[in-house]
């Protein structure tokens, strides 16, 4: 059995440097995830602030309506369909980098969920906090930035962390547009060796390791934030 395992390991990962498919795929997955997270955070904060401002003050109604349409469309359709529409429909007649398409698609998708997480955090803060900031001479924007959002970030950090973990795993569908991410790398190895077990298990273990590392970093950040509150 040991010899058989060694032979299969050599065939799947060592022969013809097939391990490079996993390494290169991992780089693509991390690149897409990193930039999609940035887009998701920026877009999510903007949408959340627009929606919460409209609910609290009655202003920005037009922008709020646009945000509602965005949230409804993004949360009401599968991310795979969004990815295919962006690649084959929106950019169908344009030669564009597939990595950029994936970043845009996953960033737009993540932004909708981040927006609702942050909006929920903003609406959970007592109204007296906003009034206290205004009484100190701070404008609405200043009160939001210096008083409300720091509290919101600490409150929604676990939910945001979970959303980023989900995003990392969702990028595995990028192969639908022939982007050679981590999952696609394992699939290429499988197609060359006709052995599904080892490459797919390797892909699953790599995803699991990344999720565990990210979860650990998130727990460390949460612990430090709690310690800062006690000081």
Q: Output the domain CATH number for residue 170.
A: 1.10.3720.10
Residue 209 has a pLDDT of 95
Q: What is the number of domains present in the chain?
A: 1
Residue 228 has a pLDDT of 66
Residue 42 has a pLDDT of 93
pTM of the model: 0.88
Residue 2 has a pLDDT of 81
> Where does the chain have alpha helices with state H?
2-9, 19-57, 61-76, 79-84, 98-124, 127-135, 140-143, 149-170, 182-193, 197-230
Residue 230 has a pLDDT of 59
Residue 124 has a pLDDT of 82
Residue 231 has a pLDDT of 58
Which pair of tokens denotes residue 136? 């100190």
Q: Which regions in the chain score pLDDT beneath 70?
A: 228-231
User: 209 is in which domain, residue-wise?
Assistant: 2-230
């Amino acid at each position: 059995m040991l010899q058989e395992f060694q032979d299969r390991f050599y065939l799947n990962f060592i022969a013809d440097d097939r391990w490079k498919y996993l390494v290169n795929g991992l780089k693509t997955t991390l690149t897409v995830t990193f930039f999609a997270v940035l887009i998701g955070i920026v877009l999510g904060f903007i949408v959340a602030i627009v929606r919460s401002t409209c609910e609290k003050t009655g202003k920005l109604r037009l922008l709020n309506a646009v945000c509602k349409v965005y949230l409804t469309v993004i949360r009401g359709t599968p991310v795979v369909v969004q990815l295919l529409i962006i690649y084959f429909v929106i950019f169908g007649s344009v030669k564009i980098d597939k990595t950029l398409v994936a970043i845009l698609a996953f960033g737009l998708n993540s932004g909708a969920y981040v927006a609702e997480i942050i909006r929920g955090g903003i609406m959970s803060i007592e109204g007296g906090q906003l009034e206290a900031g205004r009484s100190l001479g701070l404008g609405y924007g200043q009160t939001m930035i210096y008083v409300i959002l720091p509290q919101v970030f600490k409150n929604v950090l676990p939910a945001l962390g979970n959303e980023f973990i989900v995003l990392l795993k969702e990028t595995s569908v990028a192969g639908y547009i022939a982007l050679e991410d981590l999952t696609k790398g394992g699939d290429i190895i499988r197609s060359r060796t006709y052995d599904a077990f080892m490459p797919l298990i390797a892909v699953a273990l790599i995803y699991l390791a990344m999720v565990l590392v990210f979860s650990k970093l998130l727990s460390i950040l949460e612990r430090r934030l709690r310690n800062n509150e006690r000081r």
